[in-house]
Structures are given as C-alpha cells and as structure tokens.
A and B are shown apart, each in its own frame.
Chain A
Amino acid sequence: MNLERIDQIIDKHNAEPSSLIQVLLEIQSENHWLPRQALERVSQRLEVPYTRIQHIATFYKAFSLVPKGKHEINICMGTACHVRGAPRILDSIQDLTGIKPGETDLDLKFSLETVNCLGCCALGPVVEIDGKTHGNLAPGKTADVIKNYE
C-alpha cells in the first residue's frame, strides 16, 4: 500500500486525531494489515504519538501488525457448529489451503482463523470468507467454496 493512498484516507477524515480508529480500519480493510510505515505516516499526519497508535493497533483484534492474506477465512468452532462437524470442515480447509488457524499462506492469498460463534447456529457448520457466510457445509463441499476465491 503506497503512502499516497494512506494520505488520501487521512485527508478524507480531515486528519482529525479523533478519527484515528476509522483511519486504521480503512487501511486495514484495504491492505489487510498495518505496516509500520503506514502507522508512522498516520502518527505524523494526525499528530498522535506512535505509542498511542501502537497501543490501539495491538489492543483491537480487528487490526493486524503482521501480513494477512487477501481472503480472510473464519471457521466457526462454536458448540452448534462443533457438534455438526466443524472440526472436519477445519481439517479439509487446512488440507486445501495448507495453513493452520492463525496462519497466512506464502502467496498472501488466505488467512485462516477459528472463531467461537458467528451467530447463525442454524446454518452450522458455518464458514465465513471475506464477510460472506457459507452455511451447511460438508468436508466434500469446501473445495467448491474455496475455489471461488483467487
């Protein structure tokens, strides 16, 4: 992500220090993670100390300070999904992507994360990819879902 784009996002918020989290969220959603140069730029432009930005960026789980893949896969491991076979879905997705929960693949294509409930237990087992929910999955069906994301 280049600095011009970061400046654009900052300008959109009139470089208000109170918009810090909004600015960080927008960088996070476009770039999938927050590189150090980006944070330093935000710190300079918003006149917020770097320690404060670092505190906020490490506090919220929505922010990542390490590179994340283009597509974010969240597998529900909640009780309902668990009894409906979430562990087997997780196994099949691990085989397909070659990464474990919390990891990102080398091409920065996928990041895998387990979550504890997505709030739609009736659809279980549920996998959420880039905010889109895929319900009633079976280990045999995951490949069809994953291949839509390049």
Chain B
Amino acid sequence: MSQIQLQIDGKEIKAREGMTVLEAAREAGIYIPTLCHHEKLEPFGGCRLCLVEATVRNRTNLVVSCVYPVQENVVVRTRSEKVDRIRKTILELLLAHAPDSMVLQELAREYGAEPDRFEKESSFCIHCGLCVRYCAEVKGKHAIGFIDRGIRKEISFIPEIAAKECAACKECFPLCPTSYLQSVFVLTEALAASTQDL
C-alpha cells in the first residue's frame, strides 16, 4: 500500500491508496458532516452532504468525499462559501421531507438552513439507505429493501424475513436519521398481525 500525500483544510495528511477523502479526513480528525456514511458499509454517496472542494492541478471541483478516492497532491477544502451554501440547500430539501429529525435540525442550525424554505412533503425517509445496506452487508439478512423509484421510492420490509430475524436484531433502528424506519417496522408488524387473523 503506497502512501499518498494530500492536503485537507491546510493540513498535510498522509493517506493510504484506496482510501476516500472522507476516511482520510476522519483519520486526521477533520470533521465532514454525513448522513448516509457508516464505516462498516460500502460508500453509497446518497446524501451528498459530505461534498467538498477538491483542487487538482489548479482546477477546483466539487466532489462527494465519501466516494472520492484520495489522490496525490489534491488540496481539499471541507468548508467554503460554496460548499456551505450547497449543504444548506441540501438540508433545506431534506427538512421538507423529515422536518422533525434531530440530526437534520442540528445540522440545519450549523449551516443556517431555513426549515420552512420548501413546502413540507413529509415522507420522513431521506433515502440514506443505512437500514437497507446494514441489513444486507453487515447482517446478510436482506429483511428490508427499497421499492419503486424516484419520488415514489420507499423502504419496505419483507414480512416473512422480518418476522424471523428482526425481533432479536433491530441494529438498524439507531442508524436511521429520521426514525421513519421504526414506524415502517411497526406498520409491517401490525399489517402482519391483522392479516394473520383473516
């Protein structure tokens, strides 16, 4: 594994090949906000909140740090006017879906995001995929998955698998940034109970 030299927020950092910018930053104690990242899971790049400015050979691009591999001599800035502005908008859009999420509210305070900027459309799920990916990658149970696409995309338990596996596990519950996962689980349980009587 070769060493790669890069700069994050003015700090010279050594990283190993194959690491992402986010991992390198975390290792050096530099904080980048994330919603869909989990160290046990494959990078997903779903929430786009970890976006940073990366300068390679005098060209600056906005890149998503959780899926951007480290490169020799890249200069990364984790906070800038542009980055903050985009993170603010992302948070405002997410808050339209999950207005009462503690995690989102806290980030919104930091970035000055206006919770009421966009009309509320409370779907509660922000499609971070943590529950789906944790169940598949860490537990290997595949009890929950995504269905449909675009604005109709949502998470859905497979009742038969959930009935066997979930009661003893529930490890995905604390991962959910909006608590929507718990309510989907309770709803699946209730549906299963009511159809059993039929």
Q: Is B156 an interface residue (CB 8 A)?
A: yes
Interface string of B108-136 (1 = CB under 8 A from A): 00000000000000000000000010001
Whole-angstrom CA separation of A51 from B156 in the bound complex: 9
- Are A49 and B136 CB-contacts (below 8 A) given A54-B156, A54-B158? yes
- A55: chain B residues at CB < 8 Å are 145-147
Q: Is B144 an interface residue (CB 8 A)?
A: yes
Whole-angstrom CA separation of A55 from B133 in the bound complex: 13
Contact between A52 and B149, CB atoms less than 8 A apart: no
Residues of chain A at interface, number, CB under 8 A? 8
Contact between B146 and A50, CB atoms less than 8 A apart: no
- A52: chain B residues at CB < 8 Å are 142, 145
Pick the residue among B132, B148, B158 that contacts A50 (CB under 8 A).
B158
Contact between A51 and B148, CB atoms less than 8 A apart: no
Contact between B144 and A51, CB atoms less than 8 A apart: yes
Interface size band for B: 10 to 19
The A-contacting residues of B in range 136-166, CB under 8 angstroms, are: 136, 142-149, 156, 158, 161
Majority secondary structure of chain B interface residues (helix, strand, loop or mixed): mixed
The B-contacting residues of A in range 27-73, CB under 8 angstroms, are: 49-52, 54-55, 58-59
- A59: chain B residues at CB < 8 Å are 148-149
Nearest A residue to B160 via CB reads: A50
Pick the residue among B142, B143, B144, B149 that contacts A58 (CB under 8 A).
B149
**Nearest chain A CB to B20 CB, angstrom units:** 25
Nearest A residue to B152 via CB reads: A58
Whole-angstrom CA separation of A50 from B158 in the bound complex: 8
**Nearest chain B CB to A61 CB, angstrom units:** 9
- A49: chain B residues at CB < 8 Å are 136, 142, 145
- A58: chain B residues at CB < 8 Å are 147-149
Nearest A residue to B143 via CB reads: A51
Which residues in A have some Cβ–Cβ distance to B below 8 Å?
Answer: 49-52, 54-55, 58-59
| 19 A–B contacts from the bound complex (CB under 8 Å) | A49-B136, A49-B145, A50-B145, A50-B158, A51-B132, A51-B136, A51-B143, A51-B144, A52-B142, A52-B145, A54-B145, A54-B156, A54-B158, A55-B145, A55-B147, A58-B147, A58-B148, A58-B149, A59-B149
